[in-house]
Amino acid sequence: MTAWIDPPLALLAELTHRCPLRCPYCSNPVALERAREELTEVEWGRVLGEAAALGVLQVHFSGGEPMARRDLLALIAAANDRGLFSNLITSGTLGGERELVAFAAAGLKHVQLSFQDADPANGDRIAGAGRRACQKGQVCLRPFAWSVCRSR
């Protein structure tokens, strides 16, 4: 009898554990992997290639806060080159419109923006005082209203 396992559909890529927020519910410790212990851009390029070869179709760039990685644009382009459908999971607190326009041009297809609360003061209370997580996220996604997925 031959056992057959369907190829994997998605890769959740925790690019970093660095994050400007301190949400108490987060599943990641504040500093699980230090920045110098993270995989390099070249190593992630290899992982993305191996994932695509295994049959992975979608890659979710997560963290930590993936926008803390300076090479995120290159990683999005690398994923796109390998036919991977890329998704950015972010709090929207780092970077903004300029970065997102570049990401979209590099092939980013989907953004998942996390909100701690619809009320800014409470959002800051959850994410850590003075983080302004709620407002910043709204501002940086404004030019992308067309790509908001309405099926969820």
Partner 1 sequence: MERLELSSATVLRLAPHIVFRFDDTRQRWIMLAPERLMLPDEQAVEILQLVDGKTSVGAIIDTLAQRYTQATREEIGGDVTAMLQELADKGCLTNDRMD
Which residues sit at the interface with partner 1, rule CB under 8 A?
A: 7, 9, 53-55, 57-58, 83, 85, 87, 104, 109-110, 146-147, 149-152
> Cα–Cα–Cα angle for 97, 101, 105, nearest 5°?
170
The nearest distance, CB 94 to partner 1, in angstroms, is: 22
Task: Pick the closer one to partner 1 by CB: 57 or 73.
Answer: 57
Instruction: Go through 74-108 and write b for each residue having 16 or more CB atoms within 10 A of its CB, e for each that does not.
Output: ebbbbbbebebbbbbbbbbbbbbeebbeebbebbb
The nearest distance, CB 30 to partner 1, in angstroms, is: 28
Task: Pick the closer one to partner 1 by CB: 102 or 104.
Answer: 104
Task: Pick the closer one to partner 1 by CB: 89 or 127.
Answer: 89
The nearest distance, CB 20 to partner 1, in angstroms, is: 25
Task: Pick the closer one to partner 1 by CB: 95 or 109.
Answer: 109
The nearest distance, CB 141 to partner 1, in angstroms, is: 13
Residue type, 118: A
Task: Pick the closer one to partner 1 by CB: 57 or 74.
Answer: 57
Could you please report the per-residue DSSP string of 58-120? Answer: EEEEESS-GGG-TTHHHHHHHHHHTT-EEEEEE-S-S--HHHHHHHHHTTEEEEEE--S-SSH
The nearest distance, CB 111 to partner 1, in angstroms, is: 9
